[in-house]
Structure 1
């Protein structure tokens, strides 16, 4: 049996001694080439450690005798020795087999092995670099995937492509969207022009409904009346008394029909003393606000031509007389009427289903009507692709932009495009959003999985979208560019401050409409310009009350103000009526004095001793008809 080979451990000193005793190779190559590389390596941490050497299992013999001849094969493994500095110097031990024969064959074999080793080392380096690059690419891809997953979880895209980022209430407190700069923003009140004019109730009303407007109505009314009655005429003061009659009835609470205001049992004394019922009916019959002969030409460009001049002047005066505060409310008003009109509207949600619709912008604090636009149907002047709501809000807010104000509106007007447009003019927006809009994320429409009284927040640029579950399976969506901080109430309903602020700011136009309905001058009519005229008088009385209180500091109620305003409006007309009565009484007195007496004319300027029974009111001389002036009481000499 073959003897087992044993491994004997040698020290580093013994291994070096063995290497020194080895003979040189005849080929002249280095010692490293004369050894055959072996795959077994035994590392050593210090030079004193033992190195294993494979030897036969025979009794121990001297080491030198085992390496005397070149024919014997030796297998050595040389381990690295560390320098004193600490840098390792690697020396690998090789085992080589020397055979008899030509040395060139051995040289070729060594060179082949060396080239193969170099190729293997270069390929290994390439593999290592490729592996490093692959690991780096995998890490980058993982990071991209995680960021995409996190973004897809936080972001949501609407149908029109609007990207909404979901936020938490804690995260939103740190956000700071663009805020409107408070440039020359006042608390609101009458302008300097209005403050100089307003000294009484009548002046506050005439600041809005001016004398020039009364003169226009007078001219148009006379033009209509003289087509059938050439001698018919009226005056500005009589028209003011006509308006006073309407205000009296409005302050009385609209009790019964208009004709009952002159009745014996239900009549209003102020109305009965101001104007007779027949004269009121004449004025109402001939009342016009434009010249009908040129109306057809103007109707081609303006459906509101029958009263557009009066309406335009009134709205312009309202804008110039008052500077609104920080918050303005935009909403619609339906003036109830069933007249024959090309733009009559039907709104089922209103108390009065039929009427003429107006877009109104009102001040929140004082309920002052700042601006108004009638709805006339499709507007040919509106740009193609522009929403009706965006166009209406932009036109209403045009005089009040770039002042840092806030506009509150309902879901008919609110949109993200309108919010961005107003934000460019330093004006913020707050309003509810209809969930069917394409710009609203799908999460707002999901009501089944929402908990009651929960709140979700989304942001898109400077706009904040708040989704509040007010009830089960019912979400309320609000869009705001006003809020920079979101807080939730600590009660059962847990309302966010966006919802509470909207509930407080939305009531401007609604409260104004309630005030107008309480003491309206509206009566039955079949002509839509007269219905618009009634709405103008209601708004003018309400705005005049606001101006009068702001300029004089008065605290009287609107009903009392309207009653006293009607008294001041009719005063000048009552003076004219009193003077007319005095003239008639003087004429009757003269006829009574000269009754039964006939004598020649004492003036005799245009007659030849004519007979006369009447005297001059100034000189008291008998005067015939030829010697009188235009008045029957005065002679030509006086």
Structure 2
């Protein structure tokens, strides 16, 4: 059959179908179909059945499909909420589930003293010298001598005397003697024998009077670019030694600390919620397990705050699968994404008026109830802790949020935050307890 014959046959079939008559020559159509598959007349395989129109009834060996089976049933989509900036949040059911830990939550190095510290520490003195090394002591000695020789040309102090002076400050702090008159520690009746054996009272007074951490001759020039120049060299060296001597565990806390002082200072802060209302504010990063200060710098009133503070503090410790815990002053979605790019997770309370949060965080729910939402790798827990107040926690540490069985039904994220937020708070309490700095005086000795 050539092309013309095939076209004529198709025309006859279409006309017969419209007239409702019999169709002849169907075997020819079967032959055409089989021939088009590359088979020959001698092929033992029977020709395939052909339906000429979708209106025709099914052939004998063609399965019948119910009409309702053509419509695919789908599961209802989970509820979603959208923040003001377009962030999409999917509502999840609170549930427990260990699951597989994500890569940003797998710690890849052990915590504890670094090889540098283990190599140099043999006793308590060498442990102290890892943090307050000879470079710092020599800088303090040179600046102290320069200040003293403005009045007394031949005055001098040795490194050993400076170590003895610092030792007496530590002993006074260990005895919680910051509210005890310093002179009484050399009293023959009520004093401590260690003070008399270490350094004379008059010599201690002299070192205290002239103690400085920078040279006054060049201070005016340096103040134009750095308000913290009075102790900048000593402080930066102390922070470098702190980073080089210890590796933190899986959790790091970032928070503020107010170092109490009422001395004349252009960046003194007033914070009414602190035990001491006036002081110098420091941003600190601390290890949660050991309460070790890892990094820190002062707030001078000119730095960019928020995520910039956190990223600067934790920069030496990212990329190892650690978690950073912050309060609502720092926590945001841009910070979480920036840390995630550095293989680090974030857990922290977040302000409810953030544009990236869904509108439901502003409402109230049943007391002790928890609502869980998820966006990419971030989980948001909204816990109604009080009738008129809820706690909103952003976490990249959790993919499933379990609810405790106690009366208050706290979610897992809240319990984790309470555990990992205490690093800087405990460090601040210890500093207040053992510090010997004078709150109302010019001395700022916080090593």
The reply to whether TM is greater than 0.5 is: yes
Return the alpha-carbon distance in structure 1 between the equivalents of residues 107 and 82 of structure 2: 36
The residue number in structure 2 matching 1:472 is 387
Is structure 2 residue 117 aligned with structure 1 residue 200? no
**Residues 523-602 of structure 1: pairs in structure 2 closer than 5 A:** 523=438, 526-527=441-442, 530-531=443-444, 533=445, 535-536=446-447
The residue number in structure 2 matching 1:246 is 169
Is structure 2 residue 146 aligned with structure 1 residue 231? no
Provide the secondary structure at the position in 1 that maps to 2:207: helix
The residue number in structure 1 matching 2:33 is none
Compute the displacement of 1:239 (Å): 0.8
CA offsets 1:14-33 (integer angstroms, 9 cap, x no match): xxxxxxxxxxxxxxxxxxxx
The residue number in structure 2 matching 1:160 is 85
Task: Evaluate the alpha carbon distance shift between residue 490 and residue 303 of structure 1 in structure 2; reply closer, same or farther with a 3 A threshold.
Answer: same
Return the alpha-carbon distance in structure 2 between the equivalents of residues 436 and 260 of structure 1: 55
**Residues 252-331 of structure 1: pairs in structure 2 closer than 5 A:** 252-254=175-177, 255-331=179-255
Provide the secondary structure at the position in 2 that maps to 1:371: strand
**Residues 89-488 of structure 1: pairs in structure 2 closer than 5 A:** 154-169=79-94, 179-180=103-104, 182=106, 184-186=108-110, 188-254=111-177, 255-379=179-303, 382=304, 388-447=305-364, 450-488=365-403
The residue number in structure 2 matching 1:119 is none
Q: 2:432 aligns with which of 513, 517, 523?
A: 517
Return the alpha-carbon distance in structure 1 between the equivalents of residues 150 and 101 of structure 2: 65
TM-score calculated relative to the size of structure 2: 0.80
Return the alpha-carbon distance in structure 1 between the equivalents of residues 232 and 20 of structure 2: 108
Return the alpha-carbon distance in structure 2 between the equivalents of residues 412 and 176 of structure 1: 31
The residue number in structure 2 matching 1:19 is none
Return the alpha-carbon distance in structure 2 between the equivalents of residues 174 and 251 of structure 1: 44
Contact 2:372-2:401 within 8 A present in 1 as well: no
Compute the displacement of 1:176 (Å): 7.8
Return the alpha-carbon distance in structure 1 between the equivalents of residues 411 and 173 of structure 2: 42
The residue number in structure 2 matching 1:608 is none
CA offsets 1:525-551 (integer angstroms, 9 cap, x no match): 632xx31x2x22xxxxxxxxxxxxxxx
Structure 1 or 2, whichever has the larger Rg, is 1
CA offsets 1:226-246 (integer angstroms, 9 cap, x no match): 121111111111111111111
Provide the secondary structure at the position in 2 that maps to 1:250: helix
The residue number in structure 1 matching 2:10 is none
Contact 1:340-1:526 within 8 A present in 2 as well: no
**Residues 488-527 of structure 1: pairs in structure 2 closer than 5 A:** 488-523=403-438, 526-527=441-442
Compute the displacement of 1:346 (Å): 1.2
Task: Evaluate the alpha carbon distance shift between residue 463 and residue 224 of structure 1 in structure 2; reply closer, same or farther with a 3 A threshold.
Answer: same
RMSD: 2.7
Per mean C-alpha deviation after superposition, the further-off stretch among 230-239 and 253-262 is 253-262
CA offsets 1:229-264 (integer angstroms, 9 cap, x no match): 111111111111111111121111115222222234
